[in-house]
Structure 1
């Protein structure tokens, strides 16, 4: 008789709700670094197994709420999980709906991997919930819209029922499963807004619940469980409530002793053990635990009787909540009204895994700024300046001009021929404009685009280019610059970027989404990998990176990721550490530079950190003036490379050699012995060298059995390893500073000399300039050995007439 009453209850309109004879008292919250969990199972000893799917693991808590242990990890190998959604447990085994891997993973209760259960279907199955009933393991298939059973005793698939639809035993995204005392299966039918009841052998019996947003109605039914006294608890992931059903009729919303309905952000999984209720709130990344207590029942107020929406209308109300009867209120954000249809809550009610799993994107990390994800403006943006790029009319905005989810996304767009998403795994192209080549971003960010394919975009150096092919250039290709030079990029996007959501376009070219993620990005720039330590840059540019100064010397690159002695200011931005972004700006570089914050040709960029060396500008070592036709190793003239680039190359120096030299080296053929460091100077100061007019032939200093010591800040010596220091041998740099024509006055500053650009040609030097570090020998270590003769020997050091030819001071 009870079943007959229950069956008939689903056929009539609901005149009222009956106050349930149960209330919930909060006991504890289980959190412990969970990330949008979706399900929970409880062992007989009270241990709580929480499915932390985004992290690919199960986290186990004690009955008292303490974290006990966790097991599994993200991946596709044995014992690994890929965005799992459902979990169930018996006395010996833990069963996990391993959704992303299209299988059910089995562990023992200690977390040791046991086996995988393979699944089959018309399309690769996506199990989202599991439940145990005797020897059968029931599971729902998100992809194929069906309910299936696996016979654990016989180790074979037993049956599958259902298909996509709105009729009996048809599903529109089936989700969680619960069985009553008689073994009848209850399955939430998410987008049909109901719970279907099926016989243990699979046939449809009846359904309960009505699609809608009013009392007793279900909008996004997700989790369900039976209490010990037969009440069915059904969670609604959009409404944030739990509806109680008794004998097929809605009784009330679950509340506390004061009669206040419990509210959650996004309740998904529900489990009851004894008198305890466990509710997984994915929106708050936690599990709330309640004690269910009996309370005297009473009749509630009358509820408006409404007609059930037609099937066609229900398809619209799935998102257009305001079309329900009576009208539902829109969300309020301060004084701004956001239609419910474009609110994050509406999107998340499907995208938390029950319909499609976007948890790694919309549930975590940075999000594109919109009405719900506003961003503090940087100081330079707080002035009333107009936005550079116009937002395309293709993207509707709210009344105040703010963007919403519906600005870029719509289910009503007409798919164009060949339209597809960038990611092959995304089956729906619900975007307002095609994005198969990553061109959606370009609609609103034209000034950030520098495409190899479009000469009309901003000049080279302003933005990191897109349209670069990550594959080898074809034989005979004219435009080889359109192809990646580094061999490791010929295989496509680096694996780590791909795993984090980065992608190429349909022709393996770089797009905005190679580096950026609209949903789930890192920081304000919404990048695939974090920016502060240049993790993103390193993946494509490992050749230019070094972990420390020692490795930088070995690789022949400028060191990065170290703290400066004092902060520097470059184009109004303060830096205390040197990273890739100290010099480079990916989207605000100076025109015709290698994406540099400051133009490098006049030495200002380098001079921000190397103040003392900035004095080279307009000196004889400024090759723009003294050797304008020369070329560095990159084939650039001094005008092209800039004053510093004529001699130094920051990312292409010869491994192990000092100063990151950028010129062609020549074998030293002089008569006097030369230190390796001296040959750097002698490459130019030789016959037929760039400084042939200032050729040096006499420069060596006796060193055998001689220990020299000098103040390295005033006259550095050269150690055995070529480093400058307190002890060592005398070399060119002991007396000369190649970056300063005139030595600074005692106590003078180290700033570059403010001299006008002069005409090309060499200056005639003398004994008080010529790049000397000092104006004389006074107080130098020369006096220690040479006494009063040091004055002449210092002034005329390179003149053979004052050198003691053949004399060995130390015998």
Structure 2
């Protein structure tokens, strides 16, 4: 140790010895009355109206709150004609006006007592824009401290003209290191708080210096972080110390004690800032608790034993290092409120004592919103996690508590040797970072696993993290790698994210701080906005207000509350948000930030009803099969599909507009036909050739199916891919009793409960698809809408037609004969004789009465006679043809006669049969299938 330092050290020891020999007592006491609190958020100043109402500056909320004498809130205001208040620091009352130091907007703002905005006074800049932080009104002028330029200025209230400014940065007389709040005595001498110099400077109303009160220090009588100041009518000065939490009292420039309670204990506040006096009351703005405390002052008397002479406070002087390094001060005694593991220089109180607005305003970041996890923000009783318990590795240049937990000093230090600015925010570039964080490099020191520099453009992330390094610029060419895909990002980071503190790297690349904010984040984990809002800023295509808007865009809905919570990857999900499916960090590789390897696993969590393993389970649920391998791959939207999954048809974020996020249109069956070409037909003719039900056709009259009016027949007329009835092939209605078919084919469903209802008469029979009637249903026993075997038949799949018939027959006839033959379904009613001459005959009939078969075996006016001419296989009795509804239920199997037996008419009267057979028509009609009714040697012309 040098001789100079040794002498200095000896001086300090002697001074401390003398000081601690003095008995110290507080001077005067105060009785707590009540608090002023109306959801205040880091208030900074309070002033009192002549009638005793308190006016509180609610800093972070940018408003002024008026309280009654009893502490109840009366009114709140602060809206201006141009822009809202931004981080205001002080207010003053004069001539029925409230003047606000609007620091963030570099102006003074005037309101009347009703809260109406009167005017705004712009303030002159010096080296940097003015930052008014303290106010006092004398006559027609307002004096204000300029935090940014270390000066005091005088402005004429009425005109807004700034008349005078004085001061500069330094420790000399009339120099400041961040001037703050101001008060004036009866002789109009200004008392200005000089924050980092730890003193109160005195000036007359023209700026001439008249000395100082107190010095920088940690012991009683000195000031560490003076903030608020107020003087009573007797000239007694009250000064709040933001760091130490005390209020010191001075009289005649001498320290007389600290504010104490009724039992003599010094009252300690959490970040006291502004002070105000009214009658016997003292108002203390306690920023750390978001309230204003109101006390009644008892008789204050000077305590001679508390006086400290000028000689005693000569040392230690205002040394810059001790400004923060309190533990370096001689005789330092640890404070009971200090964290046992954190050095005082990095204690949260130390950081906040400057960053609450007195030196730099970080109120919008610190003690608001979500903060980077550190030792300061551990919940009570929460143990420190070991390095092994943490996911991140903290190896590197970061100092940590116990080698595990970060604190303020882990990232910040005033001793950084960076020649350039280290922060990312304009106006606050020198963030005292341990290394430059312009490109987010500091974050990567701990969170290396979260970087993903290899991911570029729209490629899938290689390391299961949201891509970093994407350039938010116009790409040099369409689809260029390394550039943002969303057009909204070609102009840089969205404005909303910038307003909330988001930044991009100097080369316009995305970095951690493009989404995260370490201090004052809106959402977890440290997000600039709430998680549900953040993604939408960069991905507006995927954002929707509701289900209707989602369908219009063709994407999956978000912000939808679930009827019942579900669990996804161990997380309880109550509403669908981006984060319900996507993991910006820690997702599985080669996925679009998902935590599952197959997308349908994720879809299944919410859409269990729409999920099925195989065809059998799908039919049970009445939905389209899932997880079914195709016999032959197909291409859907330029993607080869070999196995059916959710993504085969759906694109969650890139679906076609006005569809349920489908990759192709479905209205006319465009999507269905890719996998089901056999079931698709262009028109009736094409459908007949394929043996399928016609689609793409318009009905003569609309029909009601469920809640839908159907005029155009397509795939979705009958099928609901995900909402079909259970135990159906994803049909919109049940089909077993013909319920669905009945909607369009009401007359044909009259076959129900007749002999042709094989569910009753032949329950063990099988159609050509090897389906029994109970499974195939009423209509499906004979018809298949998509798998008809015979192109010339109406979707027939009944019993196998006979290979050889006893008499000449048409294909349509052989449909009937397939059942009415030996060893078949209707073997009890075998038809042996059915032929009728047709060559060289001109047969003409009304197709609606007795249809004939043309060359294509379709119902026609001219042609040949077939089974279908006289019989309607769908109704038992001709008398029922004109009746609405179904045939009566048969309680027993009735024997058919010439009056029923699925006949179209009761008799031949009025038919074309009479034209040839005349008087014999009735006999021929009655015995048409009877051998005795036919001439033995008839010369049939064929």
- Separation (CA, whole Å) in 2 of partners of 1:245 and 1:179: 14
Q: Of 75, 84, 87, which aligns to 1:69? A: 75
Following superposition, the deviation at residue 63 of structure 1 comes to: 2.1
Unaligned runs of 5+ in 1: 1-12, 666-674, 710-716, 723-727, 746-768
- Separation (CA, whole Å) in 2 of partners of 1:687 and 1:97: 78
- Separation (CA, whole Å) in 2 of partners of 1:409 and 1:383: 22
Q: Which residue of 1 aligns with 2:601?
A: 604
Q: Which residue of 1 aligns with 2:288?
A: 283
Q: Which residue of 1 aligns with 2:784?
A: 796
Say whether 1:164 aligns with 2:169: yes
Following superposition, the deviation at residue 609 of structure 1 comes to: 2.2
- Separation (CA, whole Å) in 2 of partners of 1:70 and 1:536: 31
Contact 1:83 1:100 in 2 (8 A): yes
- Separation (CA, whole Å) in 2 of partners of 1:779 and 1:688: 20
Following superposition, the deviation at residue 180 of structure 1 comes to: 1.1
Q: Which residue of 2 aligns with 1:411?
A: 414
Q: Which residue of 1 aligns with 2:426?
A: 424
Contact 2:25 2:305 in 1 (8 A): yes
- Separation (CA, whole Å) in 1 of partners of 2:608 and 2:385: 32
Contact 1:20 1:297 in 2 (8 A): no
- Separation (CA, whole Å) in 1 of partners of 2:286 and 2:577: 40
Q: Which residue of 2 aligns with 1:493?
A: 493
Matched residues, number = 736
Contact 1:621 1:739 in 2 (8 A): no
Tell me the secondary structure at the aligned position of residue 346 of structure 1.
helix
Q: Which residue of 2 aligns with 1:402?
A: 405
Following superposition, the deviation at residue 697 of structure 1 comes to: 4.7
Tell me the secondary structure at the aligned position of residue 637 of structure 1.
strand
- Separation (CA, whole Å) in 2 of partners of 1:708 and 1:156: 79
Say whether 1:206 aligns with 2:211: yes
Q: Which residue of 2 aligns with 1:35?
A: 41
Contact 1:558 1:651 in 2 (8 A): yes
- Separation (CA, whole Å) in 2 of partners of 1:440 and 1:797: 66
- Separation (CA, whole Å) in 2 of partners of 1:536 and 1:376: 30
- Separation (CA, whole Å) in 2 of partners of 1:26 and 1:20: 17
CA shift in 2, pair 1:332/1:198, >3 Å: closer
Q: Which residue of 2 aligns with 1:762?
A: none
- Separation (CA, whole Å) in 2 of partners of 1:581 and 1:321: 45
CA shift in 2, pair 1:26/1:652, >3 Å: same
Q: Of 412, 415, 437, which aligns to 2:439? A: 437
- Separation (CA, whole Å) in 2 of partners of 1:552 and 1:782: 33
Following superposition, the deviation at residue 295 of structure 1 comes to: 4.5
Say whether 1:176 aligns with 2:181: yes
What are the superposed Cα offsets for residues 72-124 of structure 1, whole Å, 9 maximum, x if unpaired?
Answer: 24x8x636211111111113211111111111111222221122222112321
- Separation (CA, whole Å) in 2 of partners of 1:685 and 1:718: 26
What are the superposed Cα offsets for residues 740-797 of structure 1, whole Å, 9 maximum, x if unpaired?
Answer: 99x976xxxxxxxxxxxxxxxxxxxxxxx98789997247454754414534466423
Q: Which moved more, 1:462-471 or 1:172-181?
A: 462-471
CA shift in 2, pair 1:732/1:237, >3 Å: same
- Separation (CA, whole Å) in 2 of partners of 1:563 and 1:549: 11
What are the superposed Cα offsets for residues 308-341 of structure 1, whole Å, 9 maximum, x if unpaired?
Answer: 4566x7201111111112113156678x422111
- Separation (CA, whole Å) in 2 of partners of 1:138 and 1:17: 39
Following superposition, the deviation at residue 18 of structure 1 comes to: 7.9
Q: Of 262, 270, 274, which aligns to 1:265? A: 270
Contact 2:280 2:297 in 1 (8 A): yes
Q: Which residue of 1 aligns with 2:708?
A: 719
Q: Which residue of 2 aligns with 1:756?
A: none
- Separation (CA, whole Å) in 2 of partners of 1:187 and 1:803: 99
Q: Which residue of 2 aligns with 1:777?
A: 736
- Separation (CA, whole Å) in 2 of partners of 1:447 and 1:572: 22
Aligned pairs for 1:637-786 within 5 A: 637-638=640-641, 643-657=645-659, 659-663=660-664, 676=667, 678-686=669-677, 697-700=692-695, 704-705=700-701, 707=703, 719-720=708-709, 732=715, 777-778=736-737, 780-782=739-741, 785-786=750-751
Q: Of 172, 179, 191, which aligns to 1:186? A: 191
Q: Of 89, 98, 104, which aligns to 2:102? A: 98
Following superposition, the deviation at residue 605 of structure 1 comes to: 1.6
Tell me the secondary structure at the aligned position of residue 365 of structure 2.
helix
- Separation (CA, whole Å) in 1 of partners of 2:334 and 2:456: 47
Following superposition, the deviation at residue 296 of structure 1 comes to: 5.2
Tell me the secondary structure at the aligned position of residue 615 of structure 1.
coil
Q: Of 550, 561, 583, which aligns to 1:585? A: 583
Following superposition, the deviation at residue 733 of structure 1 comes to: 5.1
Tell me the secondary structure at the aligned position of residue 422 of structure 2.
coil
Contact 1:568 1:608 in 2 (8 A): yes
Tell me the secondary structure at the aligned position of residue 645 of structure 2.
helix
Say whether 1:111 aligns with 2:118: no
- Separation (CA, whole Å) in 2 of partners of 1:707 and 1:154: 79
Q: Which moved more, 1:458-467 or 1:245-254?
A: 458-467
Contact 2:718 2:740 in 1 (8 A): no
Tell me the secondary structure at the aligned position of residue 292 of structure 2.
strand
Q: Of 590, 593, 611, which aligns to 1:614? A: 611
Following superposition, the deviation at residue 515 of structure 1 comes to: 1.2
CA shift in 2, pair 1:599/1:786, >3 Å: farther
Say whether 1:55 aligns with 2:61: yes
Tell me the secondary structure at the aligned position of residue 607 of structure 2.
coil
Following superposition, the deviation at residue 135 of structure 1 comes to: 2.3
Following superposition, the deviation at residue 372 of structure 1 comes to: 1.4
Following superposition, the deviation at residue 371 of structure 1 comes to: 1.0
Following superposition, the deviation at residue 496 of structure 1 comes to: 1.7
Q: Which moved more, 1:688-697 or 1:201-210?
A: 688-697
- Separation (CA, whole Å) in 2 of partners of 1:108 and 1:193: 35
Q: Which moved more, 1:432-441 or 1:609-618?
A: 609-618
CA shift in 2, pair 1:607/1:79, >3 Å: closer
Q: Which residue of 2 aligns with 1:503?
A: 503
Q: Of 232, 236, 244, which aligns to 1:239? A: 244
- Superposition RMSD on alpha carbons, in Å? 3.8
CA shift in 2, pair 1:58/1:537, >3 Å: same
What are the superposed Cα offsets for residues 25-50 of structure 1, whole Å, 9 maximum, x if unpaired?
Answer: 21221010110011111111222111
- Separation (CA, whole Å) in 2 of partners of 1:145 and 1:706: 83
Say whether 1:89 aligns with 2:93: yes
Aligned pairs for 1:288-367 within 5 A: 288-295=293-300, 297-300=302-305, 308-309=314-315, 314-329=319-334, 336-367=340-371
Q: Which residue of 2 aligns with 1:224?
A: 229
- Separation (CA, whole Å) in 1 of partners of 2:365 and 2:694: 65
Q: Which residue of 1 aligns with 2:514?
A: 514
CA shift in 2, pair 1:773/1:170, >3 Å: closer
Aligned pairs for 1:111-130 within 5 A: 111-120=115-124, 121-130=126-135
Following superposition, the deviation at residue 514 of structure 1 comes to: 1.4
CA shift in 2, pair 1:210/1:695, >3 Å: farther
- Separation (CA, whole Å) in 1 of partners of 2:612 and 2:601: 11
CA shift in 2, pair 1:309/1:460, >3 Å: farther
